Amino acid sequence: MANKSLITRILTSLFFKRANIGAVRYARNTRSLYQLIREALEKSGGLSGKNIGVFREQLGIVTRLLKAYASGDYRQLPWKTLIRVIAVLIYFVSPIDILPDFLPIVGLTDDIALMLWLFSGMKDDLEKFRQWEQTSQPSTGTAANPQVIKIG
């Protein structure tokens, strides 16, 4: 229940509303989207903990999906979902939000909770993408080796 309350506070916050507005610009600018992906991967690389491997795996799928979308190889993601994914990543990489990242331990709580909410809410889209990845051979080569994330 407390986690749901945190998600509700995040989704209604000024910080997330700004991220939503910015998400449309990112969705229309491939270079900015690649930079956002890079920043999210860099930030997740500094995380540690018991279940962080699962988190990174899910983030890897999401970033590959965004990369495939940006390159035009995969367009089966609804616009509304695309904007939500980008908004969550903008929030995730931003150091200033409901719980600023510079606060020890608790500073990342809102970021991780929001990312987990995203992963949970788009399970079907992620599964469709993974199936597409396994059966497609996009020009970038990421489907042949889904662990490789080429950016730029």
Please check whether residue 69 is in contact with residue 77, taking contact to mean a CB–CB distance below 8 angstroms. yes
Give tens-digit pLDDT for 107-121: 678 888 899 999 999
Per-residue pLDDT for 64 more than 60? Answer: yes
Residues 38, 54, 57, 111: is their CA dihedral positive or negative?
A: negative
Highest mean pLDDT among 36-45, 49-58, 135-144: 36-45
Q: Which long-range contacts (CB under 8 A, 24 or more apart) does 32-37 make?
A: 33/66, 33/70, 33/86, 34/67, 34/70, 34/151, 34/152, 36/66, 36/86, 36/89, 36/90, 36/93, 37/63, 37/66, 37/67, 37/89, 37/149, 37/151
DSSP state of 142: T
Per-residue pLDDT for 147 more than 60? Answer: no
Chain-wide mean pLDDT for the chain?
84
Output the pLDDT for position 96: 75
Give tens-digit pLDDT for 131-143: 999 998 645 544 4
CA distances from 125 to 25, 34, 102, 104, 109 (A): 22, 20, 33, 34, 25
% the chain with pLDDT above 70: 80
20-32: average pLDDT: 95
Instruction: Give the whole-angstrom CA distance, residue 142 versus residue 148.
Output: 6
- Tell the residue number behind the tokens 């995969």, with chain if given: 74
Residue 33's H or E segment, with its range, is helix 30-45
Q: Is 28 left (phi over 0), alpha (psi -120 to 50) or beta?
A: alpha
User: pLDDT band at residue 152, thresholds of 50, 70 and 90?
Assistant: very low
Output the pLDDT for position 6: 87
